[in-house]
Chain A
Amino acid sequence: NAGVMQNPRHLVRRRGQEARLRCSPMKGHSHVYWYRQLPEEGLKFMVYLQKENIIDESGMPKERFSAEFPKEGPSILRIQQVVRGDSAAYFCASSIEGAGTGELFFGEGSRLTVL
């Protein structure tokens, strides 16, 4: 059973470009979470999704960031018009029963560098 798959593992963008990060949850998992890890900081919750629904986006910046988890295919975190401050590691996690009582399974992250 493959784990949480994230791609690309490394992404370089110039300021103003768009970044798309993809996450395929573990088989049978319908809960997906995105976290951002900045250098020397902890993980910051961004968004929690279930299939076709955004459940909690309280950690998402109000502009330029969006996330989706379509009925078919991976979850996508999209960052428009990237700025240098967006450089970070973005982690996706999935769970079978929700994070409250179950454990999260994390991918290995997508490291975004904005030049």
Chain B
Amino acid sequence: AQSVAQPEDQVNVAEGNPLTVKCTYSVSGNPYLFWYVQYPNRGLQFLLKYITGDNLVKGSYGFEAEFNKSQTSFHLKKPSALVSDSALYFCAVRGYTGANNLFFGTGTRLTVIP
């Protein structure tokens, strides 16, 4: 079965500091991995994806994620956090090989402290 785990329910970071939101995955076959962000009372917005190629993927709003096959991880990172980055972040993995649906983690709430 395909799944992702987000081990931290909550991450707090000071404005200007680097941030990391963790995600580990379990898949059979090649992993297709995604990060989405949800602002209060809104739908999810796509940030970035890893399908193949470079292990470091760059996305929207200055975010990036590093695919690490040996550690089965896909952590989301940003060099300098902004207060406006405060939101709920979801890691997601494609379903079974060839499927077209995504399975989401439980989410990590990021709070950037001014």
Contacts and interface: CB of A to CB of B under 8 A. Distances in A.
On whether the two chains bind one another, the answer is yes
Given A100-B32, A101-B32, A101-B51, A106 B103 contact: no
B44 A56 contact: no
Interface in B31-81: 32, 34, 36, 41-46, 49, 51
Interface stretch (A12-20, A38-46, A70-78): A38-46
B90 interface: yes
A69 interface: no
Which of the four size classes fits the interface of chain B? 20 to 34
B10 to A, nearest CB: 11
A67 to B, nearest CB: 13
B90 A45 contact: no
Contact of A103 (B34, B42, B99, B105): B34
A56 B99 contact: yes
Given A4-B43, A91-B43, A103-B49, A42 B102 contact: no
A109 interface: yes
Interface of A: 4, 31, 33, 35, 41-45, 48, 55-56, 91, 93, 95, 98-101, 103-109
Interface of B: 6, 32, 34, 36, 41-46, 49, 51, 90, 94-95, 98-107
